[in-house]
Amino acid sequence: MSAKPLAEQPMAQDRPSRSEAEAAVRTLLRWAGDDPGREGLLDTPARVVRSYEEFFAGYGIDPVALLERTFAETEGYDEIVLLKDIRLESYCEHHMVPIIGIAHVAYLPANRVVGISKLARVVHAYAKRLQIQEKLTAQIANTIESVLQPRGVAVVIESEHQCMTTRGVHQHGASMVTSRMLGAFRDDPNTRRELMALIRSRH
């Protein structure tokens, strides 16, 4: 996978070292009221830093590069391509707690199609960053439109925000739904209805 464009990456001199990151975790443990020197917490700073490398791996992935290999041998297929129920794990940029849900990604090919795994990878590349759901939805749709240039793109995300379930209003079971419709999915109500019927269908 390609690295992010240099302009979007943190400057090397601004990025803390691993030891500095671990020291920050120890500070938070002390602030929470615990002792980072006790046996159960001795390795916690290192574990947290390793976890953050996984949680925020999306900063090191270029979503555009994921979509650049396409296929033209489609026998003229020009109907909806939909990958639904993509497991999504992201992180709220306001509280740094998980956003857990599913994404549905669709497009109407113009001339070329892309491997379906690449659609899921684009979702994960943007999700594995600090986000708000509205921005995440738009980023996925805008990137697919820009690279594939299809006749239409649609992204629908349904998720539960831990910043609502574990703090604040403690609203368990409340889900947030966002959508981004471009091209034919925005302009043609029949195409949009067909898409939503496909998303709602369950086997």
Q: Is 38 helix (H, G, I), strand (E, B) or coil?
A: coil
Answer yes or no: are the C-beta atoms of 128 and 56 closer than 8 Å.
yes
Q: In what order do the strands lie in the sheet with 152-161?
A: 130-131, 81-92, 98-108, 152-161, 176-183
- Say whether 161 counts as a known binding-site residue: no
> CA 44 from chain center: how many Å?
26
Helices (H), ranges, the chain: 18-32, 44-55, 63-66, 116-127, 133-148, 162-165, 184-187, 189-200
Structure-block tokens of residue 68:
């650049």
- Say whether 95 counts as a known binding-site residue: yes
- Say whether 124 counts as a known binding-site residue: no
Q: CA of 93: how far to CAs of 56, 96, 98, in Å?
A: 11, 5, 10
Answer yes or no: are the C-beta atoms of 104 and 83 closer than 8 Å.
yes
Dihedral class, residue 29 (left if φ above 0, else alpha if ψ from -120 to 50, else beta)? alpha
Residue positions in the annotated binding site for Zn(2+)? 92, 95, 163
Q: Which residues are annotated as a binding site?
A: 92, 95, 163
